[in-house]
Every structure is written in structure tokens, then in C-alpha cells.
A and B are shown apart, each in its own frame.
Chain A
Amino acid sequence: TQLLEQSPQFLSIQEGENLTVYCNSSSVFSSLQWYRQEPGEGPVLLVTVVTGGEVKKLKRLTFQFGDARKDSSLHITAAQPGDTGLYLCAGASGNTGKLIFGQGTTLQVKP
């Protein structure tokens, strides 16, 4: 059974601080995706990383895929209250399109 361990599960920080969320597995994934979910809404795709070692930036968010394609991280620089939400990592393997989700990280950024 493929599992994705996401940490930390909860994070409460002040505006302007930096943070990193980790997503780890013992399984290899063909791609790793990060989503952000707000209350009452569905998850929204932030980024997909496909190549081992790949780094992608989305404004203040930096995503990295591990060299062995078993882990990923999301780093947020100078967090803002608008970054508050549930962050989910999800791994894809095979060709069915099935995603395995991590447990999620609830981020609260206080003004």
C-alpha cells in the first residue's frame, strides 16, 4: 500500500515568517502534486513536479521533488494571512490517474 506522510499536520505562524511542509513516502511516484483547499471548497492544484530533483516556484512558494521521487517539500517565504488553508500533497503512479493523498497540513498565518 502506498502512503504519503505529510508533516507537520498543523502550523500556526505569524505573518512574515517562513515555513516548510514535507511529504515523504517509501514508494516512488511518477509525479507529485500540491493542492490548497479552503473551507467549503475543493482542493485547487498549485503545482505538479515530475522529474527527480525538480524545483518549481510560484511567487513565494517553492516546490521541490526529491531526487528519488519519493518525497517533496513546499516552502513558503514571508507567509501572509492569505496563505491560510489546508495544503495537500498527492502522488501519482501507474497510468490510471489515481492520486494518493497525504493527510494534509493546516496552515494558519496570523496578521
Chain B
Amino acid sequence: DTAVSQTPKYLVTQMGNDKSIKCEQNLGHDTMYWYKQDSKKFLKIMFSYNNKELIINETVPNRFSPKSPDKAHLNLHINSLELGDSAVYFCASSIPGRSYGYTFGSGTRLTVV
């Protein structure tokens, strides 16, 4: 049973297109996140939802819009894709609290051409 699953694993698309990445967790966690990992492997938070409520919205272009239909799902929609959006996007979930770590999905490698 996959704990945090993301689809698709790979996404190749042209500049200007709109695309979505889906994420689902079956751990019963209240909090879900989207992180972006750049070509140097640096992970940076984009968004966080706690029980369907947006609680973190970092400095991300408004072309990126997260949606959480319920606490087990957090999707990421990206409009008007740009070359610089190419990266690996990770979904993660956790139990709120300082001693609990994240469970990450296996990532979505987005390539914009």
C-alpha cells in the first residue's frame, strides 16, 4: 500500500500549457504539502494545507494553484507553464507537531519544453 502517491511520475509539456499533478495519502495525516526540488536537489516549500485549509503559501507565482478537496488529497494545478517551472515536485504529508516527520511521495518530474 503506497502511503503518499503522486501522479503522474513524469510530465513533459510545452510552454504555455496548463497541467495538474495529483496527490493522495492514506495515512490519515491532517497536513499535506507541496515542495519543489530544483536541479541542485534543493527542496523548497510551496504550499501547505491542514485539513483542507491553506496554511502556508510561500512566494510562488499565482500560476500555481493548489486544491484540497478533502484532507487525503492535495492537487497542484499550474497555468501557462514556463521553462523555469521544470523541476521535481514532491507531495508530502505529516501529523502536526514538531517531532513528526514527513512522508513524501515519489515525486513528479516536470519538464517544460
A-side interface residues toward B, CB under 8 Å?
30-31, 33, 35, 37, 40-45, 48, 50, 86, 88, 90, 92, 95-99, 101, 103-104, 106
The one of A88, A95, A97 that contacts B33, using a Cβ cutoff of 8 Å: A97
Q: Is the beta-carbon distance between B48 and A97 smaller than 8 angstroms? A: yes
1/0 per residue B78-102: CB within 8 Å of A? Answer: 0000000000001010101111111
Tell whether B113 is near chain A: CB-to-CB under 8 Å: no
Q: Report Cα–Cα, A42/B50, bound state, in Å.
A: 21
Interface centre among A30, A40, A42, A86 (most CB of B within 10 A): A42
The one of B4, B40, B45 that contacts A98, using a Cβ cutoff of 8 Å: B45
Question: Of all chain A residues, which has the CB nearest B92?
Answer: A42
1/0 per residue B100-112: CB within 8 Å of A? Answer: 1111111100000
Q: Is the beta-carbon distance between B43 and A101 smaller than 8 angstroms? A: yes
Question: Of all chain B residues, which has the CB nearest A51?
Answer: B99
Q: Report Cα–Cα, A35/B43, bound state, in Å.
A: 12
Q: Is the beta-carbon distance between B107 and A97 smaller than 8 angstroms? A: no
Known: A86-B41, A96-B55, A103-B40. A42 touches B107 (CB 8 A): yes
Known: A41-B107, A97-B31. A48 touches B99 (CB 8 A): yes
Question: Of all chain B residues, which has the CB nearest A94?
Answer: B98
Query: For residue B100, which residues in chain A have a CB less than 8 angstroms away from its CB?
Result: 48
Query: For residue A88, which residues in chain B have a CB less than 8 angstroms away from its CB?
Result: 43
